[in-house]
Chains A and B, each alone.
Chain A
């Protein structure tokens, strides 16, 4: 069995920053990711990010991922396991991992769970036809593997992900017939929405998908308008000729390992589903297990990086590591995080976080 001081599950922006901060304080870290590469969702984000100058606004996600991954690889206190899936957490604090068909056991003193989120799906007739994808999956196909999913896409969901993936499909030379959104308003930042609309993609709010059709694969979709009470308006159906339907109806935290570990969980719709309760140190109800990033509530990469930094600092501090400016480092991150969430678009997150606190 392998021993380590801090084990971090997930090498996305949250896990990478957690590893860097913990190692900088002096802790020995093992970082595990099931992908062959580090960076998590960030690796697919070819668009420029928002946020403040300190949080690298205006940089592209993929470049942030590359930089963080290189820093992690260069840090000798961090051991990286890629292509390694964490399978289970056992009562004695042992984590089991599958890598190259080998079964490993790791006994860490502290754990930071940074497993991110998983895409939600949607129920409608024929939703199992080939050609129906999650938006994140399409983004992986296009931006990681350079594969076009089809020629003409219907995007379901006008949140940031639906709108950004639509834009990236256009960049890849794929036509987007429309973006539909059941809610009466666009959820994405309006500047993102405007940029796909002027590139020729209409956004229909108050619309949902009624059914997909096709024999062996998607050949089209019927969309329908919803009234103020979210009820379909008969006669408002419209048929769209598409060969791909892309679902972007939200993410939910990937929490299986936290359930296994017996962390207290609560269903908080604002945060995307069941989330672990945590204290201000980002420690869950199981002492020694910390959380950071989308696994603790679906948010965004800037927040994931700041939470990762906090969890990394706190876990290392709990092991006795310290720095002269520790308090200042931590306070700065807490302040920036509060600022990021302070505006009107952060309201949902603020409401959610109130419910996820560990009293």
Chain B
């Protein structure tokens, strides 16, 4: 449970998960932000009004997955690194997971890396498709990983493999 070990439960995730039918239509944001904290940049960064207006700064983000086109603006602004963009139309068997990443060195495009879940465990492998970084992103890079479709709601981090 989040409050005990920092890992969201299946029930937590069920509340923010896009439907299979929505996932099949293209990229979409998943906001894994489960606590009422005084924070609202995600809401202000969405130009499509896909995040429900915050009545109070302590509200939790509610993404209207039908309005959201997966542009990733909110992902880049979220200080909690809690928003991910999932794209199930990326390939026949593979989905794209875009995640915020703040470690150096950055991976190279084309690298095969260990795909890591929310508990920090390696659950498979992923390929780095793209790395977005630069001044505009202010130190938080966005890494695009391709993973088997059934891992798209599992993989939230990665480890660069040791080169020997």
Asked whether, in the complex, the Cβ of B79 is within 8 Å of the Cβ of A190, the reply is no
Q: A197 contacts B7, CB within 8 Å?
A: yes
Which residues, 167 to 210 on A, are CB-close (under 8 Å) to B? 170-171, 184-186, 189-206
- Give A302's nearest chain B residue, CB to CB: B38
Q: Which 3 A-B pairs have the closest CB atoms?
A: A343-B58, A191-B80, A193-B6
- Collect the chain B residues with CB atoms within 8 Å of residue A170's CB: 103
Once A185-B3, A196-B6, A198-B118 are accepted as A-B contacts, the answer to whether A51 and B39 lie under 8 Å apart by CB is: yes
* Contact partners of B81 in chain A: CB under 8 A: 191, 195
User: Do residues B41 and A60 form an inter-chain contact, with CB atoms below 8 A?
Assistant: no
| Contact yes or no, A199 B157, CB < 8 A | yes
Q: Are B41 and A194 in contact (CB under 8 A)?
A: no
Which residue from B7, B35, B157 sits with its C-beta under 8 Å from A189? B35
Q: How many A-B residue pairs have CB under 8 A?
A: 129
Q: Decide: A200 and B120 in contact? CB cutoff 8 A.
A: yes
| Inter-chain contacts of A48 with B (CB < 8 A) | 79, 138, 140
Q: Which residues of A have CB within 8 Å of B35?
A: 189-191, 345
Query: Is A231 among interface residues, defined by CB-CB distance under 8 A?
Result: no
- Distance of A251 Cα from B7 Cα, bound (Å): 27
For chain B, residues 22 to 50, give those with C-beta under 8 angstroms from any C-beta of chain A.
32-41, 44
CA distance A202 to B57 in the complex (A): 30
* B102 sits at the interface (CB 8 A): yes
Q: Which partner residue on chain A sits nearest B41 by CB separation?
A: A58
In the assembled complex, the Cα of A46 lies from the Cα of B120 at a distance in Å of 23
Contact of A52 among B4, B40, B78, B104 (CB under 8 A): B40
Interface members, chain A 321-346 (any B CB < 8 Å): 339-346
**Counting CB contacts under 8 A, is A57 at the interface?**
yes
| B3 engages A186 (CB within 8 Å) | yes
In the complex, whether B139 has a CB less than 8 A from a CB of chain A is: yes
A-side residues, CB < 8 A to B, are 46-53, 57-60, 170-171, 184-186, 189-206, 302, 339-346
Contacts of A194 in B (CB 8 A): 2, 6-8, 32, 82, 118
13 interchain pairs, CB-CB under 8 A? A50-B79, A51-B39, A53-B41, A57-B79, A58-B41, A185-B4, A191-B80, A199-B120, A203-B6, A205-B5, A302-B38, A340-B38, A345-B37
In the complex the two chains form, what is the Cα distance from A177 to B8 in whole Å? Answer: 21
Q: Does B119 contact A (CB under 8 A)?
A: yes
Q: Is the CB of B58 within 8 A of A190?
A: no
Q: Are B103 and A171 in contact (CB under 8 A)?
A: yes
Give A184 to B3 CA distance when docked, in angstroms. 8
Partner of B38, one of A51, A191, A206: A51
Contacts of B33 in A (CB 8 A): 191
**Residue pair B56, A342 in contact (C-beta under 8 Å):** yes
Take A195-B80, A197-B6, A197-B7 as given contacts and tell me if A190 and B118 are in contact as well, using a CB distance cutoff of 8 Å: no
CB of B63, distance to nearest CB on chain A (Å): 15
B88 within 8 A of A: no
Q: Is B113 an interface residue (CB 8 A)?
A: no
A67 CB, nearest partner CB in chain B, Å: 14
CA distance A185 to B4 in the complex (A): 5
Closest CB of chain B to A209's CB: distance in Å? 18
